[in-house]
Amino acid sequence: MRLPRRVPAAVAAAIAVAGYAAALLGLRGGSAPLLLDATVGNAVTLGATGLLWWRVRSGVADRAVLVPLAAGLSATALNEAAADLVEVVGAGPPRGPAVVVAPVLAMPCFLLAAQRYVRTRLADRHPGSWLDAVAGTLAIAGWLLLLEAPLRRVLGGVLAGGAGVPLALPAVDVVVMLQLLAVVVWCGARSDVRLWFVIAALALAGAGHLGWVVQEQAGTYGGGNPVDALFTAATVLAAAVGWVPPPRTPLLRASVTRLLVPPSAVLVLCGALLATGAAPRRAEALVGAALLLVVGRLALAHRELVPLSHARHLSLTDELTGLGNRRALLAALAEAEQREEPCALLLLDLQRFKEVNDALGHAAGDELLRSVAARLRARARRGDLPARLGGDEFALLLPGTALAQAQHLADALAADLARAHRLSGTSLHVPAGVGVAARPVHTTSAAGLLHCADVAMYGAKRERRPVLAYDERLDRRSGDRLRLVEELRAVLAPGADGGSLVLHFQPKIDLATGGVAGAEALVRWQHPRLGLLDPTSFLATAEQRGLMPTLTRQVLSGALAEAARWHREGHQVPVAVNLSATDVLDAGLPDRVRAALRRHGLPASALHLEITETVVLGDSTRAREVVAQLAGLGVRLSVDDYGTGYSSLAYLRDLAVHDLKLDRSFVADVAADARAAAVVRTTVDLAHSLGLRLVAEGVADEEGLRLLRAMGCDESQSHLHSPPLPAAEFRAWLGAHEAVPAS
Task: Name residue 157's beta-bridge partners.
Answer: none
Confidence category of residue 23, pLDDT binned at 50, 70, 90:
low
Is residue 621 within 8 Å of 593, Cβ to Cβ?
no
Q: Give tens-digit pLDDT for 696-727.
A: 988 888 898 999 999 999 999 988 889 999 99
The string over 11-47, giving b where at least 16 C-beta atoms fall within 10 Å of a residue's C-beta and e elsewhere, is: eebbeebeebbebbeebeeeeebbbbbbebbbebbbe
What is the rounded average pLDDT of the residues 202-226? 68
Confidence category of residue 588, pLDDT binned at 50, 70, 90:
confident
Confidence category of residue 159, pLDDT binned at 50, 70, 90:
very low
Q: What is the 3-state secondary structure (H, E, C) of 172-184?
A: HHHHHHHHHHHHH
The CA distances from residue 537 to 484, 523, 534, 703, in Å, are: 9, 11, 6, 33
**Looking at residue 595, what is its pLDDT?**
93
In terms of DSSP bridges, do strands 575-578 and 607-612 run parallel, antiparallel, or are they unpaired? parallel
Give the angle 283-155-76 at the CA atoms, nearest 5°: 70
Task: Tell me how far apart the alpha carbons of residues 72 and 113 are, in angstroms, rounded to a whole number.
Answer: 9
**Looking at residue 434, what is its pLDDT?**
92
Q: Give tens-digit pLDDT for 236-267.
A: 777 777 777 766 555 555 555 555 666 667 77
**Looking at residue 4, what is its pLDDT?**
47
Query: Phi then psi for 670, rounded to 5 degrees?
Result: -65, -30
**Looking at residue 636, what is its pLDDT?**
92
End-to-end CA distance of the chain: 81
Task: Tell me how far apart the alpha carbons of residues 647 and 614 are, in angstroms, rounded to a whole number.
Answer: 7
**Looking at residue 80, what is its pLDDT?**
73
* Omega prior to 250 cis, within 30 of 0: no
Query: What is the DSSP code (8-state) at residue 31?
Result: S
Is the model's pLDDT at 394 over the cut of 90? yes
Q: Give tens-digit pLDDT for 434-463.
A: 999 998 888 877 777 888 888 888 888 777
Query: Phi then psi for 3, rounded to 5 degrees?
Result: -80, 145
Task: Tell me how far apart the alpha carbons of residues 627 and 623 are, in angstroms, rounded to a whole number.
Answer: 6
Average the pLDDT over each of 31-35, 168-172, 357-361, 631-635 and give the range with the smallest value.
31-35
Active site positions, annotated: 697
The string over 490-529, giving b where at least 16 C-beta atoms fall within 10 Å of a residue's C-beta and e elsewhere, is: ebbeeeeebebbebbbbbbbbbeeeebbbbbbbbbbebee
The CA distances from residue 419 to 372, 432, 569, in Å, are: 10, 11, 57
Alpha helix locations (H) across 465-547?
A: 472-492, 539-544
**Looking at residue 56, what is its pLDDT?**
78
Is the model's pLDDT at 406 over the cut of 70? yes
Query: How far is Cα of residue 249 from the mean position of the Cα atoms in its chain?
Result: 21
Higher-confidence position of 319 and 608: 608
Query: How far is Cα of residue 724 from the mean position of the Cα atoms in its chain?
Result: 47
Higher-confidence position of 506 and 76: 506
Is residue 413 within 8 Å of 375, Cβ to Cβ?
yes
**638, HSE (Cβ side, Cα atoms, 13 Å):** 28
The shares of helix, strand and coil residues in the chain, as percent rounded to the nearest 5, are: 60, 15, 25
Task: Name residue 350's beta-bridge partners.
Answer: 432
Average the pLDDT over each of 197-206, 261-270, 414-423, 515-524 and give the range with the smallest value.
261-270
**Looking at residue 555, what is its pLDDT?**
92
Confidence category of residue 307, pLDDT binned at 50, 70, 90:
low
Q: Supply the DSSP string of 377-443, one letter for each residue.
A: HHH--TT-EEEEEETTEEEEEEET--HHHHHHHHHHHHHHHHSPEEETTEEE---EEEEEEEETTT-
Confidence category of residue 647, pLDDT binned at 50, 70, 90:
very low
Q: Highest mean pLDDT range out of 173-187, 319-333, 365-379?
A: 365-379
The CA distances from residue 159 to 210, 365, 402, 498, in Å, are: 12, 81, 72, 96
Is the model's pLDDT at 732 over the cut of 70? yes
Task: Tell me how far apart the alpha carbons of residues 492 and 273 are, in angstroms, rounded to a whole number.
Answer: 80
Q: Give tens-digit pLDDT for 487-513.
A: 788 888 766 654 588 899 999 999 988
Average pLDDT for the chain = 75
Is the model's pLDDT at 425 over the cut of 50? yes
Is 633 strand, coil or helix? helix
Confidence category of residue 591, pLDDT binned at 50, 70, 90:
very high
- The reported pTM is 0.44
